[in-house]
Amino acid sequence: MVIRHVHPVKPSSAQGLVAEVYAQVKRDFGRIAEPFMLHSPLPNLLAACWMACRETELAGAVPRALKEAVAASVSNVNHCSYCVDAHSIMLDAAGERKTANAIRGNRYDEISDSNLKLIVQWAKATSTPKAPALFSPPFTRQEAPEIIGTAVFYHYMNRMATVLLGESPLPSSNWLLKGAMERAASRMFQEAVNAPKKRGDSLQLLPKAVLPADLQWAKPSPEIAWAFSAFAKAVEEAGEQALPLEVRAFVQEQLNEWTGKTSELSLAWSEEEIGKLGTDMQASARLALFTALAPSKVDDAVVKEFQLHSPEENRLLGALAWASFAAARKTGTWMRVPPA
């Protein structure tokens, strides 16, 4: 698998914090996968990303299959084929091959397990504010941080993967070979998926920070609150280095009016709005706005234009992370935590 536009740290040459994160990823996730590796040029961002993923999706009391169903369903809604394949494989490894195939094929009526069906319906609704399913979440207040956290994390990761990764983690997209490759990958991850994981093991990587107001859904879980406070801080620091304040304010203003659809971006409208900014900020604004609202529109031309003004590789990664997390945080404000 090729990671586009950034040069990750290879596991064989990792040192310090990057090496520490890679060791945890290999142990708990099963392999040092590209969605984590692409964050490695910014070690704090890598550590924070892993913390948010591990403490929600991998650890905790909610069955892994339920959370993999959330990850796969959110990825399907966001049209991130890489993540749909990856988490269908993980869902299969967790013992839910039929559910994985149903989600991958948009055949949701074939899900026979009532709990899985409810959680999938909820996950599909997370990109639609005021969707009825969000007002009656199929989980408890104590389960909410794990499930909402998994959904928010994949609204973030889908955007990063769409811009920086290919169509699938599998070595070939040939449909004649895909089924066999998926089953082989599922067997490869089976041990790691089903191994017990202690809550909070990743929290040693970064200190706890202030949990922002729009991430308060994490509060019922001290471990997830810590992980997402560190994630928010690392992303904000990366964004401050990568994007001017005016650009971040511009994107945030557009997100305030956003209704959740990843395709909700008229090129004519966006160019008119971007044109109101100074010429030195337009490339940054275009990259950040497209990443947040329509990541499939971030093509090589958009990236190269950004790099002409900001050639440092870490600034591209920081800009993408900030825009992706800004959109993901917005989706989190639509999700309800059940009352105590």
Closest CA relative to residue 329, chosen from 101, 69, 151: 151
Position 340 scores a pLDDT of 81
- What's the pLDDT score for residue 319? 98
Helix axes 300-309, 282-293, angle to 10 degrees: 140
Distances (CA, A) of 316 to 160, 211, 263, 312, 328: 11, 25, 22, 7, 18
Residue 56 is given by DSSP the state I
**Which residues of the chain form beta strands (DSSP E)?**
none
* Measured distance CA(150)–CA(238) in Å, rounded: 22
Q: Please give the pLDDT value at position 267.
A: 61
DSSP state of 57: I
Q: Which pLDDT value is given to residue 263? A: 62
CA pair distance 183, 174, nearest whole angstrom: 15
Q: Report how far apart the first and last C-alpha atoms of the chain are (Å, whole number).
A: 45
Question: Over the chain (340 residues), what is each successive 10-residue block's mean pLDDT?
Answer: 91 97 97 97 98 98 97 96 96 94 92 94 96 95 98 98 94 74 89 95 98 97 98 98 96 90 67 85 95 94 95 95 98 94
| Cβ atoms of residues 242 and 318 within 8 Å | yes
Domains of the chain: 11-60+198-236 (no CATH), 64-194 (1.20.1290.10), 243-331 (no CATH)
Residue 72 in contact with residue 150, Cβ under 8 Å? no
What's the pTM? 0.95
Q: What is the pLDDT of residue 259?
A: 86
The alpha carbon dihedral of 125, 129, 132, 137 has a sign of: positive
**pLDDT score for 126:** 97
Catalytic residues: 83
